[in-house]
Amino acid sequence: MADTHCSAAALLARRHSKEPVVCVRPHLLEAQAERLVDAFPGDVLYAVKCNDTPLVLQSLWNGGVRHFDTASINEIRLVRTLLPEATCHFMHPVKSTEAIAEAYFEHGVKRFVLDHVDELTKIVAATDGAEDLELFVRLAVPGQGAMLSLTGKFGVEVAEAVRLVRAVRWHAKEVGLTFHVGSQCVDPQAYRRAIDVAAEVVAETGSVDHLDVGGGFPALYKGDEPEFEAFVAVIETAVAEHGLVCRLQCEPGRALVADGASVLTKVELRRGRSLYLNDGVYGNLAELKWIGPQFPTRLVRPSGEVGGAQEAFDLFGPTCDSIDSMPGPHWIAAEAREGDWVEVGMMGAYSSALKTAFNGFEAGTVAILHDDGWYLPGLREPEQAARAA
């Protein structure tokens, strides 16, 4: 069990840590889970790939999440072991025969996604022609509005989707459509455009039992991103306008866990406006490269947070690899020096999930904090919030 502290400064004062620390705040995770489950008019599936730390999964369960988007057999095993009453859904469009069989026969998974007729054949064969399958066809949809587009790898156009839905009806007890608008989507209308595509398929094939609007709901890294409720309003309106009568589900990852953790990383060297850290792209900070300098940051010492004037820094990780760089501007207290600690907020998503031990650098430890989350939009320092915007 991770040790517990009231603040990052208190952690540093007591631990004398030398490695990076992922600071998890279970109370924030529980509160966010309660909020999203209450706001969405259907089933909320947590996308386990976003952060599979047992503490995170348990916190989401405590907050009311009962369904999990599991994209591998190992994720299914983890959830079923930790949360035996949870419902797992195998939402990866391409799966091995062995994984399908184990998921169905050993873990009770009934819901599977596909976007190719051969995958349908595989699912039917691996489950011995089971009559209680819930099969979802994944659609290709526009990716405008997302910071990281997911178009190209999965999903089929309308004509092929129509053929697949018709084929699926012969084998499935319940039929669904699913899509993903892309990661960190900041345009609620992206979901309307995707639902328009789903409605085309329904018009050709008849009603479906389920519509999965996928993930992509944004974390509030800068603080001006639309709230989850804004996306729900667009989804509900689009579904009603098309007359779709089906059960809804969504697969949030970032929106559920991003604000539930931060990362503490130590400054090993300052070179002008470059800070060399003991964590980086190959550790817990990959998102600082792929999403960019949108994350709230602050300088922390065992004595407390360091305030004052801020400067724009470029950040570099500890490995001997030029990819391990996180270009700025990252706004951090101007007096940053070797031995100080940088705390990066909003790091609950795709931080520890992407960490490696590349080049011999470990990705650190986990601690529990009970503070209010200084990095949440309403609690950020005015100057830092202005910089992020």
Active-site positions? 320
Which string of DSSP letters, residue by residue, matches 311-366? Answer: EEEEEE-SSS-TT-EEEEEEEEETT--TT-EEEE-S--SSSGGG---GGG----EE
Sign of CA dihedral 85, 46, 160, 198: positive
Determine the Cα–Cα distance for residues 65 and 43; give it in Å rounded to an integer: 9
Nearest to 182 by CA among 224, 142, 228: 142
Nearest to 257 by CA among 64, 17, 2, 24: 24
As a residue count, the chain comes to 389
Sort 8 into a burial class: Cβ within 10 Å, 0-12 / 13-18 / 19+: buried
Query: Pseudo-torsion of CA 219, 225, 228, 232, nearest 10°?
Result: -140
Determine the Cα–Cα distance for residues 380 and 284; give it in Å rounded to an integer: 22
Determine the Cα–Cα distance for residues 112 and 119; give it in Å rounded to an integer: 10
Cα–Cα distances in angstroms (integers) from residue 132 to residues 101, 104, 214, 251, in the given order: 14, 10, 23, 22
End-to-end CA distance of the chain, in Å?
37
Cα–Cα distances in angstroms (integers) from residue 344 to residues 129, 287, 367, in the given order: 49, 11, 14
Tell me which long-range contacts 321-327 makes (C-beta under 8 A, separation of at least 24). Answer: 321/282, 321/358, 321/359, 323/281, 324/280, 324/281, 324/282, 325/280, 325/281, 325/289, 326/280, 326/281, 326/285, 326/288, 326/289, 326/293, 327/289, 327/292, 327/293
Give residue 266's identity as a one-letter amino acid code: K
Sort 102 into a burial class: Cβ within 10 Å, 0-12 / 13-18 / 19+: middle
